[in-house]
Amino acid sequence: MKRTVISIFALLLAANVSIGQEVDKKILNWYNGAKFGMSTDKAYDKLLAGRKCETVVVAVIDSGVDIEHEDLQGKIWTNTDEIPDNGIDDDKNGYIDDVHGWNFLGNPDGENVNDEQLEVTRLYAQLDKKYAGKSYADLNDEEKEEYDYYKTLREKVEGKRKDAQKTLDIINDLYEKAKESDTRLKKHFGGEYTQKQLKKLKKSKTSDLAGDAGLIYEYNKSGLSIETLESYVEYFQGQLDFNYNADFNAREIIGDDPSDFNDKNYGNNDVEGPDAMHGTHCSGIIAATRGNGIGNDGVADNVLIMSIRTIPNGDERDKDVSLAIRYAVDNGAQVVNMSYGKGYSPYKEEVIAAIRYAEEKGVLLVHAAGNDGKDIGEEDNFPSPKYDSMSEKFTNWIEVGASTRYKKRLAASFSNWNSELVDIYAPGLEIYSTVPQSEYETTQGTSMAAPMVTGVAALLKSYFPKLTMIEIKDIILASGQDVSEMTTPRPGDDVEVPFQALCKTGSIANVYNAVEMAIEMEAKK
């Protein structure tokens, strides 16, 4: 049983399901520290004390942000050209009452998309309408090529459904047994119980509850609980009901044509939405109030978060992503955090055009490399720092992998990697930050690493406003903590490799080094 619990737990960690818990003091703000952290606190104490700074607007393209969170007060962007709640597009940008950002996943009636298909499912569903029930004999030569692609998509979707169902059955069984055992144990102990009590009871040779005690003891020891098991059941049920369900159509709520990029004025101003955990966690990493004694300390101390809700529980749409980037640029964001990605991009040219637009305007885009433990030079992860149609990477882009606080496994086991396409790593494991309802959780992912770098970029722009965002990008990549020669298990297969093999700089983002370099560059201007 212990092996089963631990193996399922590892699977769920790879899936980046967050685990709410009391924070360990060793984890709290470790990413701002010196050892494999970013030396943020040292930079503030030694280099930035007494320096003036300017406010920087950071767009967070994500699942939404709890703009009322206690640790984000005074950190939320306000569109001063818009009169709140008057039902009028005062600034004439096409979005009514966009006071704190925009939600591309809603409709004017206040309804919101939460769950979505993955892009592979959408592509499969589209082609299934054309090819379901057909064989090669029914097709011409041009159709046969597309039919082969359709079969590949079908195999992937159906295979993922089988895997999800198999995992769901296992976890649901664990969950039901855990609930039954928990009920009996609470009755025995007269309420809540401790690990110490379970350890004693499970050794009993006379009690009928020894097995129950042993089961819950091992669950707790492995980091599981009734609540987390329940969330895992919901996660894999969601894969079956939504992510890999070809018949599901969430877009009916929004009412636009997701293939028509000229149809731009849709959505609503609910920038939090129904599930803002991910976006709020990222925002806290960037901007949570420093030194107030509650929650975590953000990396940057004078920023405003612009929430652009674009990412559902499933794959984002290319149309929403491209419009979100343009919205961020047009409304004054200087840095954009993009902690999302997917394996297919049917309208990639439109996304490229939006990234080029940001590039022309000098806006920096920071993107998470992804959590599949794969080489993104071999397996696609969109949006990408470089597309097949390009000879060079975007100049305004930083691709970020996830590092840890552990010397023996410095690269997080889930992090995507590539020695050219991934630029730098940043802390992404055991990250404690803000979540909705003024609460906090510890979670992990390159989704957490990207806002670390976004925070560094915003901090540098705030204290060194004369620097362009492209210069700031260059500083971040040139000033990282050099760990290029250190070896680490390679994500995905655990082969020991030098860190240089995982990203272009062979380094971990470092605020202190970056500020030192910015001071030197500023003096030369």
Quick one: three-class SS letters along 132-167? Answer: CCCCHHHCCHHHHHHHHHHHHHHHHHHHHHHHHHHH
Query: Are both 437 and 297 inside the same structural domain?
Result: yes
Q: Is 270 contained in some domain?
A: no
Q: Into how many domains does the chain fold? A: 2
Contacts for 31 with CB less than 8 Å, ≥ 6 apart: 37, 38, 40, 285, 299, 426, 427, 431, 452
Domain residue limits at 312: 29-74+277-524
Q: Is the pLDDT of residue 32 over 90?
A: yes
pLDDT of res. 2? 32
Domain-embedded: residue 94: no
Q: Does the residue 185 lie in any domain?
A: yes
Q: Say if residue 129 is in the same domain as residue 239.
A: yes
Are 175 and 299 members of one domain? no
Task: Say if residue 410 is in the same domain as residue 470.
Answer: yes
Q: What rounded mean pLDDT belongs to the chain?
A: 94
The answer to whether residue 348 is domain-embedded is yes
The pLDDT value given to residue 332: 98
What does the pLDDT average to over 105-114? Answer: 97
Q: Give yes or no for a contact between 402 and 412, defined as CB atoms under 8 angstroms apart.
A: yes
DSSP per-residue string spanning 92-105: -SS-TT-SSEEETT
Per-residue pLDDT averaged across 466-483, rounded? Answer: 98
Question: Rounded distance, CA 268 to CA 161, Å?
Answer: 33
Q: Around 206, how many Cα atoms within 13 Å sit in the side-chain half-sphere? A: 0
Closest CA to 416 of 385, 376, 380, 377: 376
pLDDT at residue 1, rounded to an integer: 31
Residue 316 has what DSSP assignment? P
Query: What pLDDT score does 20 carry?
Result: 46
Instruction: Give the CATH number, domain containing residue 482.
Output: 3.40.50.200
- Do 124 and 70 have their domain in common? no
- Cα–Cα dist 30/401, whole Å: 17
322 located within any domain:
yes
| pLDDT given at position 7 | 44
pLDDT single digits (tens) 134-145: 998 999 989 999
Q: Is 439 exposed, middle or buried (0-12, 13-18, 19+ CB in 10 A)?
A: middle
pLDDT the model gives residue 22: 66
| Region 103-129 average pLDDT | 97
Task: Report the amino acid identity of residue 410.
Answer: L
Q: Is the sign of the CA dihedral 272, 277, 281, 282 positive or negative? A: negative
Dihedral angle, C-alpha 480, 486, 490, 495, nearest 10 °: 170
Residues 410 and 520 in one domain: yes
Q: 332 and 426 in one domain?
A: yes
Residue where one domain finishes, among candidates 243, 258, 287: 243
Q: Specify the pLDDT at position 4.
A: 39
Same domain, 332 and 283: yes
> Is a pLDDT exceeding 90 seen at residue 11?
no
Residue closest to 318 by CA, chosen among 347, 343, 338: 347
The pLDDT assigned to 472 comes to 98
| % of the chain at pLDDT higher than 90 | 91
358 within some domain = yes
Provide the token pair at 314: 């499933």
206 inside domain: yes
Tell me: the pLDDT tens digits for 425-450? 999 999 999 999 999 999 999 999 99
The reply to whether 100 falls in a domain is no
- Within this chain, do residues 131 and 224 fall inside the same structural domain, yes or no? yes
Q: Which pLDDT tens digit goes with each residue over 274-328?
A: 999 999 999 999 999 999 999 999 999 999 999 999 999 999 999 999 999 999 9
Pair (228, 361) in one structural domain = no
Tokens 């609980």 map to which residue?
225
Predicted pLDDT of residue 18: 47
Residue with tokens 């928990």: 182
What is the predicted pLDDT for the residue at 525? 74
Which of 243, 263, 285 is where one domain is finished? 243
Looking at 190, 223, 243, the residue that finishes a domain is: 243
Backbone angles phi, psi at 112, to 5 degrees: -135, 145
- Whether residue 53 is found in the same domain as residue 124: no
Instruction: Grade residue 151 by pLDDT with cuts at 50, 70 and 90.
Output: very high
Percent of all residues in the chain with a pLDDT value above 70, rounded to a whole number: 96
Write down the pLDDT at residue 16.
46
Task: Return all residues near 61 (Cβ < 8 A) that are at least 6 apart.
Answer: 308, 310, 311, 321, 324, 325, 328, 336, 337, 338, 340
User: What is the CA 348 to chain-centroid distance, rounded?
Assistant: 20
Q: Within this chain, do residues 506 and 370 fall inside the same structural domain, yes or no?
A: yes
> From the CA atom positions of the chain, what is the Rg in Å?
24
Angle at 495 between CA 492 and CA 496, to 5 degrees: 125
Which band of pLDDT confidence, cut at 50, 70 and 90, is reported for residue 12? low
Q: Place 516 in a pLDDT band, splitting at 50, 70 and 90.
A: very high
Report the candidate in 269, 319, 333, 317 with the shortest Cα–Cα distance to residue 65.
Answer: 269
Across residues 180-200, what is the average pLDDT? 96
Beta bridge partner(s), residue 106: 112
Q: Given this model, what pLDDT does residue 5 score?
A: 42
